[in-house]
């Protein structure tokens, strides 16, 4: 409906308008490509020969949506803690056409997601024509539509590397999964009902892209030339240097009941052979339960126990505490795990001061990086190959020699960075991989639901 209004407006009312006002209307009509739409009410105003002031007011409103987001992040994703810097001032009531394009996100992935959405909208528009009802493809068939089907499945992130010259077993497997998702007869054939299932998935994917374009609008327009990007739902940590991706590492994120938060901070130092100062909730519930189940666990794992959470509290001999009689509510002790092969932080910890108690660290269980679902931590992010990541962070600051000397130390040591490095913990359920292909991730924390309800 909104697009119809836009077409009618542009064809009927723009010919007599000044060039600047026509360009503003053209810009408003382009908003669906960003996952935004001018409301029915605003198009009605625009279709009745609006005054220059009305046109400016409506344009400025939507420019603010493109600048800092359409939806209120505190309502739709309350845990979002990354500040944004608006391009438009609150007092600004008039906008020039050249300013409009400066409100769009300059983060490169924004354009990649827009292009992905345009391709999916093409499939919606032409699916009936390209895959008509009478078309049914069986295993082994050769057909001119197979390359088109391959492109659609790839854009939906349902399959890749499918042969173009025949309908293969890989095609059957991919479409069988689609059919099972919608309780269709799982024969793997392409037919009218399976085409409709693909259309339904395409609608879902478009909503997901709109949600993630909105999240990008919540970020600053551009990111620092040098930063660390912690991709929570994608289980990756990316090092960006000189504005380009320079390293990509597998990661482990927080469990759904202990989520890794979305926030921005700065890396200030790196610790070698860190001591794990256990958060009280983990000590009083998880570790106390393990000690009760396996007496001697804490001693065997290298924990020291202190009388209280006062940093001056004396150490208590671990053998003198009757853990079996303690409850979680009564547990007052502070636990610190010493460096060693069982230390939960591994050998390296990347420090960033924050009230959330979140940091990047190594792990004593590297086999966990082989899992597909890696929402396994208690909130902090574990990084595979963290030693190499630290090397990449410290080298531009002239600390590579210091790092080489420090990392062989058997004691706990800290390397302070002369210049802090920004780090962004982000949550995106659609994002380009290293090849530029948009991948759709599991919504591990169920944060898309409220946003999708508005798209």
Structural domain contains residue 219: no
pLDDT at 6 over 70: no
pLDDT at 367 over 60: yes
pLDDT digits (tens, 9 = 90+) for 244-288: 999 999 999 999 999 999 999 999 999 999 999 999 989 999 999
Last residue of a domain, one of 43, 71, 104: 104
Whether 360 and 413 share a structural domain? yes
Alpha helices in 366-437 (DSSP H): 386-394, 400-406
Those residues whose C-beta lies under 8 Å from the C-beta of residue 371, and which sit 6 or more positions away, are none
Which residue's entry shows tokens 């898309």?
448
Structural domain contains residue 449: no
Cα 454 to Cα 441: distance, rounded to the nearest angstrom: 20
Those residues whose C-beta lies under 8 Å from the C-beta of residue 283, and which sit 6 or more positions away, are 331, 333, 334, 335
Whether 266 and 411 share a structural domain? yes
Cα 442 to Cα 439: distance, rounded to the nearest angstrom: 10
Cα 331 to Cα 288: distance, rounded to the nearest angstrom: 8
Structural domain contains residue 452: no
**What is the pLDDT at residue 40?**
93
Q: Which has more confidence, 420 or 96?
A: 420
What percent of the chain lies above the pLDDT cut of 70? 96
What is the average per-residue pLDDT within 360-367?
96
Bridge partners of 267, per DSSP, are: 421
Residue 192's CB is within 10 A of a number of other CB atoms, namely: 14
Whether 136 and 54 share a structural domain? no
Whether 170 and 151 share a structural domain? yes
Those residues whose C-beta lies under 8 Å from the C-beta of residue 341, and which sit 6 or more positions away, are 364
375 phi and psi, to 5 degrees? Answer: -90, 80
For residue 437 the two structure tokens come to 């292909």
pLDDT band at 222 (very low <50, low <70, confident <90, very high): very high
Those residues whose C-beta lies under 8 Å from the C-beta of residue 367, and which sit 6 or more positions away, are none
Whether 96 and 31 share a structural domain? yes
pLDDT digits (tens, 9 = 90+) for 28-84: 999 999 999 999 999 999 988 888 899 999 999 999 999 999 999 999 999 999 999
pLDDT band at 10 (very low <50, low <70, confident <90, very high): low
What is the average per-residue pLDDT within 420-434?
97
**What is the pLDDT at residue 16?**
63
- Contact call for residues 303 and 336 (beta carbons, < 8 A): yes
Whether 240 and 286 share a structural domain? no
Whether 388 and 411 share a structural domain? yes
Last residue of a domain, one of 80, 104, 128: 104
pLDDT digits (tens, 9 = 90+) for 81-97: 999 999 998 888 888 88
pLDDT band at 15 (very low <50, low <70, confident <90, very high): low
Residue 60, CA distances (Å) to 36, 57, 63, 66, 72 in order: 14, 5, 5, 10, 17
361 phi and psi, to 5 degrees? Answer: -155, 170
Cα 131 to Cα 360: distance, rounded to the nearest angstrom: 48
Q: Tell me the pLDDT of the chain averaged across its residues.
A: 93
Report which DSSP code applies to 263. E
Instruction: Report the CATH number that the domain containing residue 174 is assigned in CATH.
Output: 1.10.101
pLDDT band at 220 (very low <50, low <70, confident <90, very high): very high
Cα 135 to Cα 149: distance, rounded to the nearest angstrom: 12
pLDDT at 430 over 70: yes
**What is the pLDDT at residue 21?**
86
Structural domain contains residue 98: yes
Cα 30 to Cα 449: distance, rounded to the nearest angstrom: 26
Contacts 24+ apart (CB under 8 A), 203-208: 203/124, 205/120, 205/155, 205/156, 205/157, 205/430, 205/440, 206/117, 206/120, 206/121, 206/124, 207/452, 207/455, 208/429, 208/430, 208/440, 208/448, 208/452
Burial 104-117 (b: 16+ CB within 10 A, else e): bbebebbebbbebb
Cα 273 to Cα 336: distance, rounded to the nearest angstrom: 13
**What is the pLDDT at residue 3?**
53
Structural domain contains residue 448: no
Alpha helices in 254-320 (DSSP H): 280-281, 288-293, 297-300
Query: What is the tally of structural domains in the chain?
Result: 4
Structural domain contains residue 163: yes
- Contact call for residues 251 and 237 (beta carbons, < 8 A): yes
pLDDT at 1 over 70: no
Whether 249 and 138 share a structural domain? no
Last residue of a domain, one of 87, 104, 121: 104
Whether 127 and 161 share a structural domain? yes
pLDDT digits (tens, 9 = 90+) for 131-190: 999 999 999 999 999 999 999 999 999 999 999 999 999 999 999 999 999 999 999 999
Whether 130 and 191 share a structural domain? yes
Whether 252 and 388 share a structural domain? yes
Bridge partners of 269, per DSSP, are: 351, 416
Q: Is 280 a catalytic residue?
A: no
**What is the pLDDT at residue 94?**
85
Those residues whose C-beta lies under 8 Å from the C-beta of residue 360, and which sit 6 or more positions away, are 228, 230, 237, 267, 349, 350, 352, 380, 381, 382, 383, 386, 389, 423
CA angle 35, 37, 42 (to 5 degrees): 165
pLDDT band at 20 (very low <50, low <70, confident <90, very high): confident
Cα 358 to Cα 378: distance, rounded to the nearest angstrom: 10
What is the value of pTM for the model shown? 0.92
Structural domain contains residue 374: yes
Structural domain contains residue 257: yes
Which residue's entry shows tokens 């002239």?
398
**Domain with 329 in it:** 282-337
Q: Is 361 a catalytic residue?
A: yes
Whether 333 and 429 share a structural domain? no
Burial 399-426 (b: 16+ CB within 10 A, else e): beeebeebbeeeeebebebeeebbbbbb
pLDDT digits (tens, 9 = 90+) for 306-317: 999 898 999 999
């Amino acid at each position: 409906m909104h697009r119809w209004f836009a077409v009618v407006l542009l064809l009927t009312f723009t010919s007599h308008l000044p060039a600047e006002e026509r360009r503003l209307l053209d810009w408003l009509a382009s908003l669906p490509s960003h996952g935004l739409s001018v409301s029915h009410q605003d198009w009605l105003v625009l279709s009745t020969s609006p005054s220059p002031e009305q046109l400016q007011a409506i344009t400025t409103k939507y420019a603010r949506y493109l600048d800092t987001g359409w939806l209120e992040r505190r309502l739709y994703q309350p845990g979002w803690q990354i500040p944004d810097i608006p391009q438009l001032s609150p007092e600004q009531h008039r906008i020039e056409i050249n300013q409009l394009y400066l409100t769009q996100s300059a983060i490169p992935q924004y354009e990649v997601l827009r292009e992905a959405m345009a391709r999916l909208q093409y499939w919606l528009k032409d699916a009936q024509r390209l895959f008509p009802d009478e078309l049914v493809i069986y295993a082994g068939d050769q057909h001119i539509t197979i390359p088109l089907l391959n492109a659609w499945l790839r854009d939906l992130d349902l399959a890749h590397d499918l042969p173009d010259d025949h309908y293969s077993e890989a095609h059957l497997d991919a479409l069988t999964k689609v059919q099972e998702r919608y309780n269709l007869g799982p024969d793997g054939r392409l037919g009218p009902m399976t085409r409709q299932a693909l259309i339904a998935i395409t609608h879902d994917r478009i909503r997901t892209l709109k949600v993630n374009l909105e999240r990008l609008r919540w970020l600053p327009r551009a990111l620092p030339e040098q930063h660390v990007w912690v991709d929570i739902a994608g289980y990756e940590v990316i090092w960006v240097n000189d504005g380009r991706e320079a390293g990509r590492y597998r990661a482990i994120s927080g469990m759904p009941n202990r989520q890794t938060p979305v926030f921005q901070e700065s890396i200030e130092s790196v610790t070698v052979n860190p001591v794990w100062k256990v958060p009280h909730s983990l000590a009083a519930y998880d570790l106390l339960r393990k000690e009760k189940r396996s007496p001697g666990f804490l001693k065997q794992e290298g924990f020291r126990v202190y009388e209280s959470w006062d940093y001056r509290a004396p150490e208590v001999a671990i053998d003198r505490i009757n853990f079996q009689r303690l409850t979680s509510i009564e547990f007052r002790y502070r636990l610190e795990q010493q460096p060693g092969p069982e230390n939960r932080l591994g050998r390296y910890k990347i420090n960033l001061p924050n009230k959330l108690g979140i940091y990047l660290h190594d792990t004593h269980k590297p086999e966990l990086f082989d899992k597909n679902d890696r929402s396994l931590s208690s909130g902090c992010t574990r990084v595979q190959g963290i030693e190499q990541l630290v090397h990449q962070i410290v080298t531009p600051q002239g600390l590579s020699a210091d790092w080489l000397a420090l990392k062989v130390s058997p004691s706990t040591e800290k390397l302070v960075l002369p210049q802090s490095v920004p780090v962004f913990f982000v949550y995106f359920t659609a994002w380009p991989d290293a090849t530029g292909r948009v991948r759709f991730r599991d919504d591990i924390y169920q944060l898309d639901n409220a946003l999708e309800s508005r798209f």
